[in-house]
Structure 1
Amino acid sequence: MSNPIPAQVEPKQSTEPASKYWLRVALDVPLDDLFDYYHDAAVVIGSRVLVHFGRRQMVGVVVETPAQPVFEAKHVKAIDMLLDDTAPLSAASLQMAHFAASYYQRPLGEVLLPVLPLSLRKPAAYTGKRAAGGPVARLRKRRKAAAKTAVADPEIIVLNAEQQAAVQHIHAVDGHQTVLLHGITGSGKTEVYLAAALKVLEQGKQVLFMVPEINLTPQFEQALRRRLQKDGEAYPVAVLHSGLSEGERLRSWLSLEQGEARVLLGTRLSIFAPLASLGLIIVDEEHDTSYKQQEGLRYSARDLAIWRGHTAQVPVVLGSATPSMESWAHAKEGRYQLCSLTQRARTQSLPEIRLVDTRRAQLEEGFSPQFLEAMQHCLDNKQQVLVFLNRRGYAPVLSCTSCGWLSQCKRCSAYTVLHRSKGGRTYLQCHHCGYQAAVPRYCPDCRDQDLKAMGRGTQRVEEFLAEHFTGARVMRIDADSTRLKGSAEKLFSEVHAGNVDILVGTQMVSKGHDFANLGLVVVLNADSQLFAQDFRAPERLFAQLMQVAGRAGRHTAGARVLIQTGYPEQVVYQSLLRQDYAGFARVTLEERKTVGLPPYSYQALLTADAPELARVLSFLTVAKEQAQTLTGIQHVQLYDPVPLRIVRVANSERAQLLAESQHRPALQQFLRHWRHVLTPLAKEYRVRWVLEVDPLEI
């Protein structure tokens, strides 16, 4: 592509080298292009370089070394510095970045650079007096020889017949296959992962183990170090997630790049990590929406894992008690190998699930009498209770009982949530833009002082339970209580140590945790997700409830799960009572096939925002009109532009336009042409836009 932008400026008059080696460099800028530079010596593709781009200095990656530049040669600048403190990105890493950029319709530089540790892409890390030697050299100076930690003798685990069969399936093919490991909660999927991983490690290869959330990494890290050993020494484990410090992330990255770490445990960003001898990819809780990035490059780490496994010719294991509809359909159609674990690994049976009909119930602070009675019974038996409510804060909204005023965010078309700090101070906060305000002493409209908190969040539930069950130790785990680094690990340790009687939590507590003494799970406000506009809402609700129900009775007999609902006849709840994922999936897939929804069609979502909604809708309308002349449009259906459900966020109005096709290649071809229409059109209408492939929420 040509590059006629002001980033290329006249070089200063100087003695030029006898020969120039032309470079095409990818930069992290929202421009769909590569940029021409030169160096006085040959540069290996994949090397990082420091360059001037307009008035800025930036770190880029060399992706081509052409014989001649695309840009006019006399205006091409030399690079400022070749950054050679790490090995160049491998051909496999570059190939994956090219695929991700092409499939998700983003510039290559927006894929290559953000996945690197910050210090490897920060110009300041290489310039100035304090940057002597670069970040890698400085890390090595600070780095002390790692003390060998004592490793307990590996626990001898005897796999049952289903688990053994699953491990054999994973290694049945010499090369790539995708295995969907569908196991009920507590069926021992982790033991299958570890057994399969150990076999790969013994072959001298590396293992990528992916989990959906940061708070799951500490317990999995302990399991990996304890179970993956050779001759009494644990295989080196590296951890990668966004909660690490800059130095920690760089240290993990280097240990992988240099082949020191044999196991990588990470969240979605770990899919881009440098693993030269990759032998196995494991994606735990593969259905989880956390694997989909929602900013910048909006990629699915699960889908990229499958692509990477295919390219590297290694097996990929997708594990879940409630697989995504896409993965289940692939397995049923034979594209994935399906392995099922139908029994719990221990002798305990599945917990009993019951629905509590709230249509005529007298509720006390949102709790039915059956809930409170069951909780007291469980506490009397010295067992723990989990209260699940996927709504943080004290109350969803503050209202005036006289005039009906509601605590509306000043910057969004959403309500501010009432929160309480540890010191008892109350404040209002918007969960969309972060806006905070003091709680008014009286109604801003009618000046009445009788303001009332409507609804319940985890903070209010925690407060009520502490008052109702006098003497019970109540703890809350949600995004508010775990803001500080290490706080989630500390709180979960308290639960596992038996220092908590009642745990109140959001979805953070529903996945992957093995609570030894949990005898009862109660679920509040599940109905809020039943009638959402998104067609995936029932699937998410079923998965969420199955996951949280699976926390109960993993080590204790007679465990129960109680769910309050005003709609007990709904398919989600009836399938849940039978703990029948296969039946729920069959009904859901039949419905989607009838109306042509994913996985039987492919989608892309164009979202735009600007200060005025009219401008956004005009942009989307013209974008739809201009799309009618593009290649591939005959296979693509474009729906009418519509405002988002929460139309205004941070003083910006938002709307969307959905593109859908029965053929993935046709949609991709169309999107490549459409992008070039959207860029100049967005400038004309002065809007920001994002094109998301395979959106999870519409």
Structure 2
Amino acid sequence: MSKHTRIQVALPVPLRETFDYLLGDEISQPPPTGARVRVPFAGRELIGVVLGHSDDGNLEPGKLKSLQAVLDRSPVIPSELISLIRWSANYYQCPLGEALQAALPTLLRQGDMPTYKADSSILPWQLTPEGQGLPDTALPRAPRQAELLKYLRDYGPQTWPHLKEVGFNRDALKKLHQRGLIEQSQSPKQAPSREQALALNPEQQVALDAITLDQFQTYLLEGTTGSGKTEIYLQAISRLFTRDSRAQALILVPEIGLAPQTIQRFQRRFGSAKVVALHSGLSDRERLNAWVRACDASAQIIIGTRSAIFTPLPHAGLIIVDEEHDASFKQQEGFRYCARDLACLRGKTLNIPVILGSATPALETLHNALRDRFTHLQLTRRASNHPPPRIQLVDSSDISAQQGLSEQSLSAINHHLKAGNQVLVFLNRRGYAPTLQCHDCGNQILCRHCDARLTLHHQPRHLHCHHCDWQQPVLSHCPICNSHRLVALGQGTERSEEFLTQYFPDTDIIRIDRDSTRTKNALSDKLERVHQGAPCILVGTQMIAKGHHFRNLTLAVILDVDSGLLSADFRGPERMGQLITQVAGRAGREQKPGEVILQSRNQNHPLLQLLVSGDYQAFSRALLTEREVTRMPPFSHLALIRADAPVADTAAQFLQVVRHFADAYTANLGAELLGPMPALMEKRGNRYRFLMQVKSDSRAAINQLCQLLVEYIGTLKTHRALRWSIDVDPQEMN
């Protein structure tokens, strides 16, 4: 290969093209496709990914710059993944260089080597003879230490990185060591005894037997909450390992909060040596270490959030997407991919099965199953054989804003607490109150940067915009009429916690939301208090709506279920039904029967009546019928062109120009345009937001029109303050 051979490089810049470089005199061997290189670009150094070699191009060799360094002798992104990312960048209208960068761990983007670097001085922690002799109840005033002691007793010696990964903190470790109850072993960790597989009920066995592991097929595992979907995942992986001892399984979970408990479950079954985690809660080094172990196949089970879909898997055998309906699988900025959909595409490319699991499948997924594009596996009853919780509607129209709970709800809470059980009060609104209003003139305190009301918080006391993060002190008087009578209206989790603390003074009230779990280990500490089983009231947001197994929780009270019914987003009712069903599934998962109370001002709404009957299948099919009548997804396909700028006219006029260009193509392509129109929240963060909707029955038409728009916008001279984006298959219509 000559020195004039052009190396095609994708760079992390917002330009939809690749760039040619020469080898240079100091580089003797051309880098392979998928390797990283360091190159000069516009007066700076960038790290790009090699996409190939060529002997010709538009520029003369004398005008090309040379590579500065080749960072990898072998590809860090295998050809299979490059193909997936190429397709994704084209479909989601993202520059290829930015998409490739998004697929790499942070340290690789910065130029670090793809090597595993663990601290060799870290040895596993184990119980001392004194620790082995202590009962589980020996540390009643130190629950975190007691939990760590029990964990080491149950699962044997563990390294600090593993203990950190499953939620323990150094303080508990240090204090147990000071007490002489644990010590560091001087030999490598031995493989612990593993948890045995559970016996499957007939429905679970039928579902497991239907999964074919030697070819591609997408399976929708639709199972009611508590039906044992995770056990099917575990046993499917066990069968995979029996077929091929080197095989790897990728498990995607929607949120960091679900990752630790999922990791623990899989480690108990397969041993910690085989399992790694990939999520944003880890340090950059920990993420790279896990990525390297997946690449060299020393890790066989990779559990991660959205971006883990781009992890290299040399021996891929199975992909699982748990809680597949969750909107967090869709990236909302930059490279706007959907990890669930890419999991299906990657499974097809690799010829391996894909399992999509959910108690409340996304309507798009359900539609594919009903049309036999996916194999539909159903679990209609709980694995414990206990009946689902009883659901009842309670009229909330006369409830005072101060308490937020009806007398019927309070009576039920008191009854369950007296029986020694736990209660969940669910409200998907953090803070003390959603607005502060003047009693005299009716003025509501608004964010100065957004079209939004400021939320009142008490801990600490301030006003906070949850859209742009603006914060300010609580006002002493109305800025319009100078009245001092400012009233907190509405209910947030802080206010619910305050009221319940006063109403049930002898009961432990545990609030779990983004505000109460900001500090390290706060979430795991609060969950541990719940898992201890003592009577308590858990007040929380959607952070605790899914995936958690609270053995002693028998009542769930859901406040303000009407917001989904009144949503301007066409997905609002679907998400409301999913959320209610997921929250209801936390109650009565063990021997005791469960109960769910829905507080609503619209008790006779037909969708709520379907949910109360416990028939989520009827609910989802009713929504599918509505979508078919209105020709909304999954019966059509959407893309949103968004624009925002400090001046409203700048964004609106930009989209009007784009609309004028697109009008010439819509008829031939069978597409429809709606807009430009203001976003549901027009002003956010001092920027005015507008959008235009593209709709068609054909994905190909959407893709073709979006490509034409991208090319056209590239020719426009836009205002420097204007920002625009294209979101294909949007999950948020704002």
Q: TM-score if structure 1 supplies the norm length? A: 0.92
Q: Is 1:534 matched up with 2:534?
A: no
Alpha-carbon distance in structure 2 between the residues aligned to 1:631 and 1:439: 51
* Corresponding residue number in structure 1 for 2:231: 191
Q: Residues 358-405 of structure 1: CA distance to partner in whole angstroms, max 9, x if unpaired?
A: 235567611100011000001100100000000011111111112222
* Corresponding residue number in structure 2 for 1:639: 674
Q: Is 1:158 matched up with 2:199?
A: yes
Q: Is 1:54 matched up with 2:42?
A: yes
Alpha-carbon distance in structure 2 between the residues aligned to 1:143 and 1:272: 31
User: What one-letter code is carried by the residue in structure 2 that aligns with 1:188?
Assistant: G
SS at match of 1:628: helix
Alpha-carbon distance in structure 2 between the residues aligned to 1:263 and 1:680: 46
SS at match of 2:664: coil
Mean Cα displacement is larger for which, 26-35 or 665-674?
665-674
Matching of residues 231-310 of structure 1 within 5 Å: 233=271, 236-310=274-348
**Aligned-pair distance for 1:414?**
0.7
Regions of 4+ moved over 6 Å? none
* Corresponding residue number in structure 2 for 1:482: 517
How many residues are aligned here? 664
* Corresponding residue number in structure 1 for 2:377: 339
Quickly say closer, same or farther: Cα 1:480–1:404, change in 2 above 3 A: same
Quickly say closer, same or farther: Cα 1:138–1:648, change in 2 above 3 A: same
SS at match of 1:174: coil
Q: Is 1:371 matched up with 2:409?
A: yes
Q: Is 1:392 matched up with 2:430?
A: yes
Alpha-carbon distance in structure 1 between the residues aligned to 2:542 and 2:32: 46
Alpha-carbon distance in structure 1 between the residues aligned to 2:118 and 2:379: 46
- The one of 419, 434, 448 equivalent to 1:381 is 419
Alpha-carbon distance in structure 2 between the residues aligned to 1:420 and 1:682: 48
- The one of 615, 624, 627 equivalent to 2:650 is 615
Matching of residues 561-580 of structure 1 within 5 Å: 561-580=596-615
Quickly say closer, same or farther: Cα 1:673–1:458, change in 2 above 3 A: same
On the 8 A contact 1:630/1:673 being kept in 2, the answer is no
* Corresponding residue number in structure 2 for 1:220: 262
Alpha-carbon distance in structure 2 between the residues aligned to 1:367 and 1:596: 39
**Aligned-pair distance for 1:331?**
0.7
User: What one-letter code is carried by the residue in structure 1 that aligns with 2:226?
Assistant: G
* Corresponding residue number in structure 1 for 2:171: none
SS at match of 2:573: helix
Q: Is 1:76 matched up with 2:93?
A: no
Alpha-carbon distance in structure 2 between the residues aligned to 1:337 and 1:662: 23
Quickly say closer, same or farther: Cα 1:227–1:95, change in 2 above 3 A: same
User: What one-letter code is carried by the residue in structure 2 that aligns with 1:182?
Assistant: E
On the 8 A contact 2:4/2:55 being kept in 1, the answer is no
Mean Cα displacement is larger for which, 641-650 or 404-413?
404-413
User: What one-letter code is carried by the residue in structure 1 that aligns with 2:88?
Assistant: A
Q: Is 1:509 matched up with 2:544?
A: yes
**Aligned-pair distance for 1:572?**
2.3
On the 8 A contact 2:401/2:489 being kept in 1, the answer is no
**Aligned-pair distance for 1:174?**
3.0
Alpha-carbon distance in structure 2 between the residues aligned to 1:181 and 1:378: 33
**Aligned-pair distance for 1:549?**
0.1
**Aligned-pair distance for 1:138?**
8.6
Alpha-carbon distance in structure 2 between the residues aligned to 1:598 and 1:80: 48
- The one of 113, 123, 145 equivalent to 2:101 is 113
* Corresponding residue number in structure 1 for 2:618: 583
On the 8 A contact 1:36/1:70 being kept in 2, the answer is no
- The one of 124, 127, 139 equivalent to 2:117 is 139
Q: Is 1:626 matched up with 2:661?
A: yes
Alpha-carbon distance in structure 2 between the residues aligned to 1:69 and 1:679: 22
* Corresponding residue number in structure 1 for 2:390: 352
**Aligned-pair distance for 1:200?**
1.3
**Aligned-pair distance for 1:467?**
1.1
Alpha-carbon distance in structure 2 between the residues aligned to 1:362 and 1:111: 50
Matching of residues 461-472 of structure 1 within 5 Å: 461-472=496-507
* Corresponding residue number in structure 2 for 1:687: 722
Mean Cα displacement is larger for which, 495-504 or 162-171?
495-504
On the 8 A contact 2:424/2:538 being kept in 1, the answer is yes
Q: Residues 503-539 of structure 1: CA distance to partner in whole angstroms, max 9, x if unpaired?
A: 0000011100011000100011111221111111100
On the 8 A contact 1:363/1:369 being kept in 2, the answer is no
On the 8 A contact 1:475/1:500 being kept in 2, the answer is no
* Corresponding residue number in structure 1 for 2:468: 433
* Corresponding residue number in structure 1 for 2:691: 656
Matching of residues 201-212 of structure 1 within 5 Å: 201-202=241-242, 203=244, 204-212=246-254
**Aligned-pair distance for 1:557?**
2.4
Q: TM-score if structure 2 supplies the norm length? A: 0.87
SS at match of 2:714: helix
* Corresponding residue number in structure 2 for 1:12: none
Alpha-carbon distance in structure 2 between the residues aligned to 1:142 and 1:408: 55
Q: Gaps spanning 5+ residues in structure 1: where? A: 1-16, 127-133
- The one of 4, 10, 16 equivalent to 1:32 is 16
Q: Residues 551-606 of structure 1: CA distance to partner in whole angstroms, max 9, x if unpaired?
A: 00000322100010010111221111111122112211111111211111111000
**Aligned-pair distance for 1:446?**
2.2
**Aligned-pair distance for 1:682?**
6.1
SS at match of 1:293: coil
Q: Is 1:182 matched up with 2:222?
A: yes
On the 8 A contact 2:422/2:534 being kept in 1, the answer is no
* Corresponding residue number in structure 1 for 2:137: none
User: What one-letter code is carried by the residue in structure 1 that aligns with 2:294?
Assistant: L
Alpha-carbon distance in structure 1 between the residues aligned to 2:43 and 2:655: 33
**Aligned-pair distance for 1:678?**
1.9
On the 8 A contact 2:35/2:73 being kept in 1, the answer is no
Alpha-carbon distance in structure 2 between the residues aligned to 1:591 and 1:137: 52
SS at match of 1:640: strand
Mean Cα displacement is larger for which, 48-57 or 65-74?
65-74
Alpha-carbon distance in structure 2 between the residues aligned to 1:378 and 1:362: 23
Mean Cα displacement is larger for which, 243-252 or 515-524?
243-252
Q: Is 1:524 matched up with 2:562?
A: no
Alpha-carbon distance in structure 1 between the residues aligned to 2:359 and 2:498: 33
Quickly say closer, same or farther: Cα 1:454–1:359, change in 2 above 3 A: closer
